[in-house]
Amino acid sequence: MSDSDKPLHTLVEELPESSMTTRLLGLLDYAVPGEWQNITNFEAMVKNVTGEDDQSLIQSVGERAIQLYNDPSNGYQRAVWIYQMLDDTQGIFGMAALGNKLSGDFDFLSFLGDITPKADTAQAVDAGVKLVGELTAFCLVNGMPGDSIGDFAAAFGNAQKEDAMRLAAFLAFDCVLPLGPDFLLKLSDGISSLSDSVLGSNGRFARIASLLPTPDLESSKALITQNFDATKGVLDKFASEKGIEQSSVFGKIKGILGAADDKLDYVAAGIDLVSNHFEHTGIQSVARRVISRAYGEI
Is the distance from CB of 252 to CB of 28 less than 8 angstroms? yes
Minimum distance from CB of 209 to other proteins (Å)?
25
Q: How far apart are the first and last CA of the chain?
A: 34
| Positive or negative: CA dihedral 211, 214, 219, 223 | negative
Judged by CB under 8 A, which stretch of 51-59, 85-93, 194-202, 274-282 contacts other proteins? 51-59
Q: How far is the CB of 135 from other proteins (least distance, A)?
A: 15
Residue 68 is a binding residue for other proteins (CB under 8 A): yes
Whether the CB-CB separation of 90 and 1 falls below 8 Å is answered with: yes
- Among 252, 267, 239, which residue's Cα sits nearest to residue 170? 239
Nearer to other proteins, 73 or 210 (CB): 73
Of the candidate residues 19, 36, 38, 42, the single one contacting other proteins (CB under 8 A): 42
Q: Binding of other proteins at residue 78 (CB under 8 A)?
A: no
- Interface with other proteins includes 240 (CB under 8 A)? no
Give the amino acid at 97. A
207 binds other proteins (CB under 8 A): no
Distance in angstroms (rounded) separating the CA atoms of residues 196 and 73: 31
Alpha helices per DSSP H over 171-216? 177-179, 183-192, 196-200, 203-208
Asked if 41 touches other proteins (CB under 8 A), the answer is: no
Q: Which is nearer to other proteins, 7 or 255 (CB)?
A: 7
Question: Do the beta carbons of residue 221 and residue 203 sit within 8 Å?
Answer: no
Among 1, 7, 17, 195, binds other proteins (CB under 8 A): 7
Residue with Cβ nearer other proteins (59 or 226): 59
**CB of 278 within 8 A of CB of 166?**
yes
Cα–Cα distance between 176 and 182 in angstroms, integer?
8
Question: Taking the C-alpha atoms of 255, 33, 156 and 183 in order, what is their torsion angle to the nearest 10 degrees?
Answer: -30
Among 57, 206, 212, 234, binds other proteins (CB under 8 A): 57
Which of residues 143, 181, 200, 233 is near other proteins by CB under 8 A? 143
How far apart CA 37 and CA 291 sit, in angstroms, is 16
Residues in binding contact with other proteins, number by CB under 8 A: 41
225 vs 292, beta carbon nearer other proteins: 292
Q: Is 268 in the site for other proteins (CB under 8 A)?
A: no
Among 1, 119, 144, 222, binds other proteins (CB under 8 A): 144
Instruction: List the one residue from 51, 99, 213, 215 that touches other proteins (CB under 8 A).
Output: 51
- Residue nearer to other proteins on the CB measure, 51 or 215: 51
Looking at this protein, which amino acid is placed at residue 9? H
d(CA 14, CA 152): 32
| Cβ proximity to other proteins, 56 vs 197, nearer residue | 56
Site residues for other proteins per CB under 8 A: 7, 9-10, 42-43, 50-54, 57, 59, 62-64, 66-68, 70-71, 73-74, 141-147, 151, 154-155, 158, 160, 289, 292-293, 295-298
